[in-house]
Structure formats: C-alpha cells, structure tokens
Structure 1
Amino acid sequence: MAGGSSSSCRIVCLATLVVVMAGILFSGEKSVVMAQGGCKGDLQGLLKECMKYVSKPGPQIDPSPSCCAIVKDTDIKCVCGIIPFPIVQTISSAKVAHVAQFCGNPLPPGVKCGS
C-alpha cells in the first residue's frame, strides 16, 4: 500500500502546484478568496484536508471533521466551476457530492464537480 500513499501525495502535490500556478490569491487564516471567480473558501485547505476523500482511486468514505470544517465554509458550487482541468481529472464527482452532503453543504442538483 506504500505505492498508494505515494500516488496520493503526487496528486495532492500536483494539485497544489496547479492551483498556485492558476493564480490563487490566499489571504487570511480562515478565508481564502480565489482570484479567478472570487469564490468563498479555502482551496488550499480543501486540497490538504479533503483531496483523499474525493480522489478517483479508492472507495467512497466519509470525510474527516477537519475536511468538513473547510467544506462548510466554502462555496462548493463556485469552486467546482473554476477548478483547473488537471485537478478535475483526478476527482470523482460522486465523491465530491458525497463529501459536500455529508458535511452539510450539499451541491445543488445538476452541479458537476470532477469527472
């Protein structure tokens, strides 16, 4: 299973790099405003705390309390609309919907986030 952990790290590291390169503006401890689209939320926190729950490989599992804390304070619909394509390819839309629902911030019907 060591290979799976390494693969997860590569996905998260790549996603973080892509986000930084996409011109994300981070400000404040809890509030992060994205330069593209102006979405409310902490995208860096989402990547760090929630990526393992929405990545395509592996089973669908309930997210951690730390992931949910970030999801609750994020405009998920907005974030889904501006996620860079390389990240979209690595996440499962069904898992994103599950995490959002589980954390009490469900996606509106018809919103797709991930592939």
Structure 2
Amino acid sequence: MASASFRFLTLAILVIAGTLVCANHGVSAQCQTSIPSLISQCSKYVKASGPEIPPSQGCCDVIKDVDIPCLCKLVTPEVEKLVSMKKVVFVARTCGLTVQPGMKCGSFTVPPA
C-alpha cells in the first residue's frame, strides 16, 4: 500500500514537473537540472506529508547542482500541495547548500538558518 502511494506521489510530481517544463519551454535547461533525477532521488524527503527525514547521499549528489532560486520560480500552488517547501529548504541545507533567508519559493518564504 505504501509503495503504491509513493509511486502515485512520484507520478504526480513528474506530471507537474513535466507540465511546468513544457509550459515554460527552456526553463529546465535554464535551471540546469534533471527533473527526473531530482524526483527519483529526493521526492521522499520533500513530500508534503510525514516528518523531516535527512536526505540520502544520492539526493545530496543530485541537489548540489540545482539552481534553487530558478526552480523556486516554478513552484505553483499545485506543486505546494505535494511538496513541502519547508522540507525542500531542510534538504538543501542538510546537503550543504546555502539557501538565502527571505527568498520566496512559491508562497513560502525561506526562514533564517
């Protein structure tokens, strides 16, 4: 049952990410990220439900090259229903990235570290 729920969440994120990329042609290249890799390695750490979980090394390896401010511009209310922006910041900071306080990611404002 949990496996099916995880697959649904992954599929939903892929559909949303794909829609964003198609609707904003070139944004994926502009943000220099691999949406499928990001989803496959990090989705379980940023899903809206559940506790904060420290990310895996695989997630950190993928996220270290992500242009977070660029991707934050793509966050819609639909994305925020599935992905916790608070957890995104937690994962990024846990992986050693600097996420500037006050930056907007969708409707979420990044708090001080």
- Smaller-chain TM-score bracket: 0.7 to 0.9
**Among residues 32, 35, 40, which one is paired with 2:26 in the alignment?**
35
Q: Do the aligned partners of residues 89 and 106 (structure 1) sit closer, same or farther apart at CA in structure 2, a change above 3 Å counting?
A: farther
Q: Please tell me the residue identity of whatever aligns with 1:59.
A: P
Instruction: Give matches, 1:53-92, under 5 Å.
Output: 53-92=45-84
Q: Please tell me the residue identity of whatever aligns with 1:36.
A: V
The answer to whether the 8 Å contact 1:80/1:112 transfers is: yes
Deviations 1:22-74 (A, max 9, x none): 335xxxxxxxxx72372122222111110100011111010011100011011
Gaps in structure 2 of 5+ consecutive residues: 109-113
**Among residues 14, 17, 20, which one is paired with 1:16 in the alignment?**
14
Give the secondary structure class of the aligned counterpart of 2:73.
helix
Q: Which protein is richer in helix relative to its size?
A: 2
Q: RMSD in angstroms over aligned alpha carbons?
A: 2.1
Gaps in structure 1 of 5+ consecutive residues: 25-33
**Among residues 79, 93, 103, which one is paired with 2:85 in the alignment?**
93
The answer to whether the 8 Å contact 1:101/1:107 transfers is: yes
Aligned length: 104
Structure 2 residue 42 is the aligned partner of structure 1 residue 44: no
Q: Supply the distance in 2 between the matched residues of 1:8 and 1:51 (Cα, whole angstroms).
A: 9
Structure 2 residue 1 is the aligned partner of structure 1 residue 6: no
Q: Supply the distance in 2 between the matched residues of 1:100 and 1:43 (Cα, whole angstroms).
A: 15
Give the secondary structure class of the aligned counterpart of 1:74.
coil
Q: Do the aligned partners of residues 86 and 65 (structure 1) sit closer, same or farther apart at CA in structure 2, a change above 3 Å counting?
A: same
